[in-house]
Structures are given as structure tokens and as C-alpha cells.
Structure 1
């Protein structure tokens, strides 16, 4: 998926999450946007990869694209690191919700993800789309509708 779809996916996931929690919606959503972009640190052409090119190149060299940073192990690492720094729960939850939305969206592409990394099994949803294609635009539209529907009255 493209960066804009990941951003809207992270926002949608966080807006829905705020309906079931008492978290500050702005803090949760800001963290969710970061989390929605974070797994693509392994791709130098991604939105986040262009912001920190040296880190992106290092992660890409060590792991490749859509492996470690697109896995449950990566989500666990985020949880552990954020708990060590005693960050507000909204930030940790937002980053995890955003990153999870990223994994789910990339699992809906033909290339899939290595969800159980270091195992090399590729995980993909039964229905897949081509990144940047018309079906992705349809997914983007549905995500925007979710944001509008669930976001009413939050702010």
C-alpha cells in the first residue's frame, strides 16, 4: 500500500479505538500515524525511509522489505521498548494500533508480509490488491468513510 493509505488506515484504526477507550484522541491518533508509517522503515523510498535514510538503509540491509518490520516480533519489540521508556499509554497504544493497521493493509497486497518472521512464510489475505492500483483507491475511500463516521464528536 502507499503511504497515504497507511496514514488514513492508521487514523481510521485510532479513531475507532478512541470509541472504546478514554484515551486522548489527538495524542492517540498522532502516535497512530507514526505507527502506521513505521513498518516501512525497511524501504528507503517510503515516507519514513526518506526522513531517516541511514536508518532505513541499515534496516533494509539487515532484514529486507516486509520481513522483520512487518511481523508480530516487531510489534512486540515496539511494546517492550515503549514500556521501558514509560511513555504515556496513548502513545504506545497509538503506535501499536497504527503499526497493526499497516501490517493488515500490506497483508492485503499480492506480496503479503512475513508476519511470523523469522519464519519465511508469507502471509496474505484471501483477497489482495495491487499497490497503487484502483482497488487500493477503493480501500482508501472506505478508510476515509470510517474516519468520518467514527470520528464524529471526538474532537
Structure 2
């Protein structure tokens, strides 16, 4: 998936988490974390949105593990969780947002032809039964679906607060 799809996916996933946890206090850091998390797994791809921002780190990671392997795995999710909670022990909103965005990214990439190595270092590739080609026509439909979800959620959110 491309960067726009991942960004909308991360925000939509955060909106879904907020919808299903009514009464919880989510700060703007939750959504910032979701946006960062939506891009973070593609640090292994030098031409990705985050890869272009951090080119040296992206090239090193790409060289060491390749694309859609370690950074798209459960192991990476756990590692990021421990790193971020160590750096910001009081940053619960940020951590949950970051993991929410990362999970949405991984699920979206599981819906592509190549899938992901979810159980890295094991070589098994995981792909959803229905998948699309990255950058293809159907990715546009995914973007529209995510946008509709965000608009509906945004309307409900604003309607509640008015």
C-alpha cells in the first residue's frame, strides 16, 4: 500500500479504537502515535514516506532485513512497545496510538500480493485471502473506504461534542 493509504488506515484504526473504548480519555498524542505508527513499518523501504525522511537508517534496515520482513512482524511490534515504554513510561496514549497505527499498516500490507513475514524470523509469508496490487486501481477503493469511515466517525465525534 502507499503512504496515503497507510496514513488513512492508521487514523481510521485509531478512530475505531476510540469508538470501541467509549469513555476512555484519548489525547491528541494517541492520533499522533497512530500516524507515526502508520508509516513506521516501512522504515525498511528506502522509497517509502518514512524511508525518504530517514534515508540512512532506512538503507541500513533494508540491507539487514529486506522489505516486509522484520519491521512488519509481531517481533517488531513487541520491540517498539518496549522501546517506547522505556523512553516514555507515562506515554500510554502515544504507545497505544503507535501500536494501533503499526497494526493497521501490517494488516493493510497483508492485503497485498506479497503479504508480510508476520512471524519473522520464520520465513512464512502471511497474506489475506482477498488481496490487491500496491498502487493499483483497487487501492483507490480502499482509500475511499477508509476516508468514508473517517468522515462518518468525524461526524459522530463532532455531533457528540456539540
Scaled by the length of structure 2, the TM-score of the pair is: 0.92
User: What pairs up with 1:63-142 in 2 under 5 angstroms?
Assistant: 63-85=65-87, 86-142=89-145
Q: How many residue pairs get matched?
A: 155
CA-CA distance at 1:87 after TM superposition = 4.3
Larger radius of gyration: 2
Q: Residues 8-35 of structure 1, C-alpha deviation per residue, up to 9 Å, x if partnerless?
A: 0000000111121523352211110100
Aligned to 2:18: 18
Task: Give me the CA root mean square deviation.
Answer: 1.2
- Is 1:114–1:121's contact at 8 Å kept on the other side of the alignment? yes
Unaligned runs of 5+ in 2: none
Aligned to 2:39: 37
2:147 is aligned with 1:144: yes
2:29 is aligned with 1:27: yes
Taking the aligned partners of 2:51 and 2:137, their CA distance within structure 1 comes to 25
Taking the aligned partners of 2:157 and 2:92, their CA distance within structure 1 comes to 18
Taking the aligned partners of 2:92 and 2:45, their CA distance within structure 1 comes to 28
